[in-house]
Chains A and B, each alone.
Chain A
């Protein structure tokens, strides 16, 4: 492969992948947060019902 501008091509590819990976991780983190909140509310309501 022609080595001219290879460094900037690498930066371009990296930017694309880093942005996609950041988005994927942020989405997974958000899902975990919503799940935890649902579980917390469910257990809180179960406790209220028991009382």
Chain B
């Protein structure tokens, strides 16, 4: 059943990406000041929205793990956090490329960019930390606490453009056709992330089976 779902969602996501690319490149009008460059936002903005959404769900599953001690919540948390990495790096790299042209610099240490980079580094730290702890229960507990600590940065990333004066642009009014393109691409990215999440969850189950087999092999 899960296998089928992975294929179906993957196919729908692929179809949507092709459709969206056509709309973004061929249908939408140009932006007066930025030229073709503004089209990067159709990947940059939904990438960050998706990462923040996954981080919020991971926060809930981490709390659920700490409250119940059930390892299935730990498996969901690690999958959610790891799956965020490619889109976090997509968000960072597309933003840097956009900044290189529009601001004339690849990077600036303003509140939005710095807090976002800190969050990316915390997610990388989470993955590295997990690899360093052998005992599954201890690994789950420590990484849940670490993940909750990392999540404290998410509201800072979100609110930074309202709380401080940043070089990063504030939310702006968009024509409806651009909003639609943005939301359709967000949907495609979410579907792709669900596919990654299902694959990653399957791996966690396999890893648990592997841990069990190793224990049996050592005991025999």
Task: Name A's B-contacting residues (CB within 8 A).
Answer: 1-6, 8-9, 11-13, 15-16, 19-20, 22-24, 27, 30-31, 34-35, 37-38, 41-42, 44-45, 48
Contact = CB atoms under 8 A, between A and B. Distances in A.
B97 interface: yes
Given A5-B36, A45-B213, A16 B206 contact: no
B162 interface: no
Contact of B34 (A5, A24, A30, A37): A5
The interface residues of chain A, by DSSP majority, are classed as helix
Given A8-B97, A9-B36, A27-B200, A44 B207 contact: no
27 contacts: A2-B36, A3-B36, A4-B34, A5-B37, A8-B37, A8-B40, A8-B100, A9-B37, A12-B43, A12-B94, A12-B97, A19-B89, A20-B192, A23-B86, A23-B196, A24-B196, A27-B199, A27-B203, A34-B206, A38-B209, A38-B213, A41-B210, A41-B213, A41-B214, A44-B217, A45-B213, A45-B216
B25 A1 contact: yes
Interface of B: 25-26, 30-31, 34-37, 39-40, 43-44, 47, 85-87, 89-90, 93-94, 97-98, 100-101, 192, 196, 199-200, 202-203, 206-207, 209-210, 213-214, 216-217, 220
A13 B206 contact: no
Contacts of B216: 45
Nearest to A37: B210
